[in-house]
């Protein structure tokens, strides 16, 4: 055989050896990954399938109980939140024609159920009066002024400050 042919065979053998080495390295890395996943699944030490499944079922039951407790807590908080006075609107207006600056106001403060209050402050030149009216279910036993009705409607819509 000639030296050229021997060199060619040597180069091919070297290339095949390098490819086999690369494939072996990839197979080794994949094997390590599978072993790590196996160790996570099976835990420390030797165990049979039924033991591992029983451990996983216990873990799942514990997590399910935690989720149920969180769900119950969230439901309780949602109920509490619905009862907070969180919808507020203010209507400013001139109560009397001889005064400007919209110094009088009506403020409605209600919860998700429409329960709360309307507070009105009427300013005149020489005096100021403040009134509070209870709101239950979006309405009042006491007659509401147009400005108070406007503030209550704005609070239900969460539109904030309104100038009358």
User: Over 70: is that where the pLDDT of 144 sits?
Assistant: yes
pLDDT number for residue 110: 93
pLDDT category, 45, cuts 50, 70, 90? Answer: low
**pTM summary value:** 0.53
User: Over 90: is that where the pLDDT of 86 sits?
Assistant: no
Question: Where is average pLDDT lowest: 78-82, 108-112, 140-144?
Answer: 78-82
Backbone angles phi, psi at 16, to 5 degrees: -65, -35
User: Over 90: is that where the pLDDT of 6 sits?
Assistant: no
Candidates 49, 52, 135; CA nearest to 88 is 135
pLDDT number for residue 113: 86
User: Over 60: is that where the pLDDT of 60 sits?
Assistant: yes
User: Over 70: is that where the pLDDT of 164 sits?
Assistant: no
- Annotate 117-139 with DSSP letters as a single string: EEEEEEE-SS-EEEEEEEEBTTB
User: Over 90: is that where the pLDDT of 18 sits?
Assistant: yes
Domain locations in the chain as residue ranges: 1-44, 47-82, 87-163
On the 0-12 / 13-18 / 19+ scale of CB atoms within 10 A, 105 is buried
Chain-wide mean pLDDT for the chain? 86
Q: Which residues 6+ apart lie within 8 Å of 92 measured at CB?
A: 102, 103, 104, 105, 161, 162, 163, 164
- Segment 45-54 mean pLDDT: 74
On the 0-12 / 13-18 / 19+ scale of CB atoms within 10 A, 31 is exposed
User: Over 90: is that where the pLDDT of 107 sits?
Assistant: yes
User: Over 60: is that where the pLDDT of 161 sits?
Assistant: no
- 138 sits in the region (left: phi over 0; alpha: psi -120 to 50; else beta) called left
pLDDT number for residue 35: 85
Beta bridge partners of residue 108, listed in sequence order: 89, 118
């Amino acid at each position: 055989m000639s030296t050229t042919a021997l060199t060619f065979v040597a180069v091919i053998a070297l290339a095949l050896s390098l490819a086999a080495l690369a494939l072996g390295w990839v197979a080794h890395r994949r094997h390590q990954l599978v072993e790590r996943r196996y160790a996570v699944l099976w835990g420390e030490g030797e165990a049979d399938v039924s033991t591992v499944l029983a451990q996983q079922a216990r873990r799942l039951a514990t997590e399910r109980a935690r989720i149920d407790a969180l769900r119950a807590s969230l439901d309780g908080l949602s109920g509490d939140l619905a009862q907070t006075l969180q919808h507020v609107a203010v209507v400013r207006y001139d109560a009397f024609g001889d005064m400007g600056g919209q110094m009088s106001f009506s403020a409605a403060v209600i919860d998700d159920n429409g329960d709360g209050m309307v507070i009105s402050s009427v300013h005149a030149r020489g005096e100021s009066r403040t009134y509070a009216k209870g709101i239950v279910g979006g309405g009042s036993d006491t007659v509401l002024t147009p400005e108070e009705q406007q503030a209550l409607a704005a609070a239900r819509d969460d539109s904030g400050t309104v100038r009358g």
